[in-house]
Amino acid sequence: MASESGKLWGGRFVGAVDPVMEKFNSSIAYDRALWEVDVQGSKAYSRGLQKAGLLTKEEMDQILHALDKVAEEWAQGTFKVNPSDEDIHTANERRLKELIGETAGKLHTGRSRNDQVVTDLRLWMRQDCSRLSALLWELIRTMVDRAEAEHDVLFPGYTHLQRAQPIRWSHWILSHAVALTRDSERLLEVQKRINVLPLGSGAIAGNPLGVDRELLQAELNFGAITLNSMDATSERDFVAEFLFWASLCMTHLSRMAEDLILYGTKEFSFVQLSDAYSTGSSLMPQKKNPDSLELIRSKAGRVFGRCAGLLMTLKGLPSTYNKDLQEDKEAVFEVSDTMSAVLQVATGVISTLQIHRENMARALSPDMLATDLAYYLVRKGPPVLWRREPRVGLWPQCGAVHHPGGHSALQCRLADRPGASTAAGPAGLEPSPPRFSIKLAQEEAAAFFLPGLAPSAVGFQEPSRSGEHGQGWQEEMGKEERGLGPLPCSGPTPSPAGQLGNLLPGVSWEDWPPGSLDGT
């Protein structure tokens, strides 16, 4: 029950609290966000008190009606917070007393703010996880739709920021979508652990008044009940897990933003942000800055800081509730707001992003196919030496050279049919792999595509090893498992010759390998 000063704890105190201390101690500036769930929890608790015989039916109805009035004032923005309102619980009970008098004091019978606040926080976070999950899935769906629409676009894949292998643009998009799918799963797991009822634990030693916790669980739709009252009022594992989830999700979003920032520079010119998600310079009119992506990248640090800050708060606390735990709510609210904004901005960036196919194609070069050809030779069963010894590996015999005709082409000795003779290799080395004709190269290339390049795949499939040539594709994961599965091609399957033409502009099948190495 509140004292004459309006404090829930003021009974034994004689002097007034120092104004600076009162402001320092107050959390109403931010925990007012819990007003709705605080009313919800109080309604459930009043029903528990009535069942336990601690409230009459008339008193319970009076409290429930007054709580509806409190909620209405909050919803309409007419609720007046007093300077003495230390927190949301004090504010609501003070207003309840103004509406129905001393009956309001009975609502707090057997209830501590220790179990009340953690119940409120769990209710709020449970609801917020559903909201963030919906925003996250909207981003994932946007990425999948984009990958499906642009599955035919090829561009360089990078390792160590060096051009590595040709990949599909859709493969890059879905690499980030897969990471976000894990984040979505992780958030649902966190939500399950949030959904545990602590109400009825009292301050530390439980509630001896016969309040039915199973009734409270049913009223508030919790999935389980806490097992220990000391732990229930003081543990904030669920807060730490939520903040870690946000930190990991922001890590993934920050990395995606960094890629797009690089791809959007003049040096790459692969993508261009929409004006709706860019800003300019006050001094340099030619500038178009990717502020949306830069802020996604930078806000990751704020989220990390909140996670680390909470862990630092928790690690030195003695058992049960301490005022330090007041810091948890501000961290949760700020991180929730940040995640909400970031997910919506990221969805907008992806949905409006413009890609420059021509620039992506120009960035592809023949030497990027060296690994593909190495895989090809492995399938053909070449001598083992070139795989063991770098000097006799694929690259010395498969380099990008300029032909008199003015275009680049791949020089490579390719494995022939079984039984063919071998040509002499470089001095001191074993014979080079046998050579074979262009027509066989066409047939073999048509039977083999790397993950992310296969016409029937968009990055979620791996090649099957069944069959003589490894033909066929097996789904690594279906739509039922991840919601992202293999995506069908929207157009006709491109021919191997068309694939080569996309990879190497100006080079036809007749040019590859060059005639001098064709063996025909």
| pLDDT mean over 491-503 | 40
Does residue 432 surpass a pLDDT of 50?
no
Which of 82-91, 282-291, 389-398 is the least confident region? 389-398
Does residue 481 surpass a pLDDT of 90?
no
Contacts of 300 (CB under 8 A, 6+ apart): 247, 250, 251, 253, 254
Residue 453 lies in a domain: yes
Does residue 134 surpass a pLDDT of 70?
yes
The encoded tokens of residue 394 equal: 């694929």
Are 235 and 378 part of one and the same domain?
Answer: no
Q: Is 29 left (phi over 0), alpha (psi -120 to 50) or beta?
A: alpha
Rounded CA-CA distance 387/377 in Å is 10
Does residue 473 surpass a pLDDT of 80?
no
Are 251 and 136 part of one and the same domain?
Answer: yes
Q: Phi and psi (nearest 5°) for 513?
A: -65, 165
**DSSP secondary structure of 28-76:** HHHHGGGHHHHHHHHHHHHHHHHHTTSS-HHHHHHHHHHHHHHHHHHHH
Residue 176 · residue 252 · CB < 8 Å? yes
Instruction: Give the largest Cα separation in the chain, rounded.
Output: 105
Residue 151 lies in a domain: yes
* Paired strand residues for 45: none
Are 344 and 411 part of one and the same domain?
Answer: no
Burial of 51 (0-12, 13-18, 19+ CB in 10 A): middle
Q: Which residue has the higher pLDDT, 335 or 432?
A: 335
Residue 359 · residue 154 · CB < 8 Å? no
- Residue 427 — pLDDT band, cuts 50, 70, 90? very low
Q: What sign does the CA torsion over 292, 293, 294, 295 have?
A: positive
The encoded tokens of residue 210 equal: 């016969």
Are 223 and 183 part of one and the same domain?
Answer: yes
Q: Phi and psi (nearest 5°) for 178?
A: -65, -45
Are 119 and 93 part of one and the same domain?
Answer: no
3-state secondary structure (DSSP) of residue 252: helix
pLDDT of residue 81: 95
Residue 424 lies in a domain: yes
Report CA Rg, the chain: 33
pLDDT of residue 340: 98
| pLDDT mean over 2-24 | 66
Are 324 and 177 part of one and the same domain?
Answer: yes
Nearest alpha-carbon partner for 180 in 146, 133, 129, 140:
140
- Going by their DSSP bridges, the two strands 400-402 and 408-410 should be labelled as antiparallel
Are 338 and 387 part of one and the same domain?
Answer: no
CB atoms within 10 A of CB 168: 24
Does residue 68 surpass a pLDDT of 90?
yes
Residue 48 · residue 98 · CB < 8 Å? no
Residue 476 lies in a domain: yes
- Residue 12 — pLDDT band, cuts 50, 70, 90? low
Rounded CA-CA distance 86/27 in Å is 6
Does residue 378 surpass a pLDDT of 90?
no
Residue 3 lies in a domain: no
| pLDDT mean over 78-89 | 94
Q: Which residue has the higher pLDDT, 520 or 35?
A: 35
Range of 131's domain? 113-361
Are 197 and 295 part of one and the same domain?
Answer: yes
Residue 391 Cα distances to 163, 351, 397, 402, 464, angstroms:
22, 47, 10, 22, 31
Q: What is the pTM of this model?
A: 0.75
pLDDT of residue 10: 54
Give catalytic residue positions: 160, 281
What is the domain-level CATH number for residue 22? 1.10.275.10
Which of 101-115, 161-175, 499-513 is the least confident region? 499-513
Query: pLDDT per residue over 215-274, tens digit each?
Result: 999 999 999 999 999 999 999 999 999 999 999 999 999 999 999 999 999 999 999 999
Nearest alpha-carbon partner for 150 in 354, 371, 376:
354
- Of 303, 330, 361, the position where a domain reaches its end is 361
The encoded tokens of residue 405 equal: 């005709």
pLDDT of residue 41: 98
Rounded CA-CA distance 478/484 in Å is 7
- Of 330, 361, 392, the position where a domain reaches its end is 361
Does residue 412 surpass a pLDDT of 80?
no
Q: What sign does the CA torsion over 45, 51, 56, 60 have?
A: positive
Rounded CA-CA distance 90/81 in Å is 10
- Residue whose structure tokens are 């029903």: 47
Query: pLDDT per residue over 273-288, tens digit each?
Result: 999 998 888 798 888 8
Residue 435 · residue 425 · CB < 8 Å? no
Are 246 and 370 part of one and the same domain?
Answer: no
Residue 41 Cα distances to 64, 198, 401, angstroms:
11, 11, 74
pLDDT of residue 503: 38
The encoded tokens of residue 268 equal: 């790459």
pLDDT of residue 1: 43
3-state secondary structure (DSSP) of residue 513: coil
Average pLDDT taken over every residue of the chain: 79
Peptide bond into 513 cis (omega under 30): yes
What is the domain-level CATH number for residue 191? 1.20.200.10
- One-letter amino acid for residue 126 of the chain: R
pLDDT of residue 279: 86
pLDDT of residue 280: 80
| pLDDT mean over 320-332 | 94
Are 179 and 295 part of one and the same domain?
Answer: yes
Residue 275 lies in a domain: yes
pLDDT of residue 6: 53
Residue 379 lies in a domain: yes
Are 65 and 137 part of one and the same domain?
Answer: no
pLDDT of residue 14: 61
Q: Which residue has the higher pLDDT, 401 or 306?
A: 306
Q: What domain count does the chain have?
A: 3
- Going by their DSSP bridges, the two strands 196-197 and 224-225 should be labelled as parallel
Q: Which residue has the higher pLDDT, 401 or 52?
A: 52
pLDDT of residue 189: 97
- Residue 59 — pLDDT band, cuts 50, 70, 90? very high
Residue 147 · residue 449 · CB < 8 Å? no
Residue 261 lies in a domain: yes
Which of 204-218, 287-301, 454-468 is the least confident region? 454-468
* CB under 8 A, 24+ apart: contacts of 108-111: 108/1, 108/8, 109/49, 109/54, 109/209, 110/49, 110/54, 110/202, 110/207, 110/208, 110/209, 110/211, 111/45, 111/199, 111/202, 111/207
pLDDT of residue 154: 95
- One-letter amino acid for residue 472 of the chain: G
pLDDT of residue 384: 46
- Of 72, 87, 108, the position where a domain reaches its end is 108
Are 263 and 406 part of one and the same domain?
Answer: no
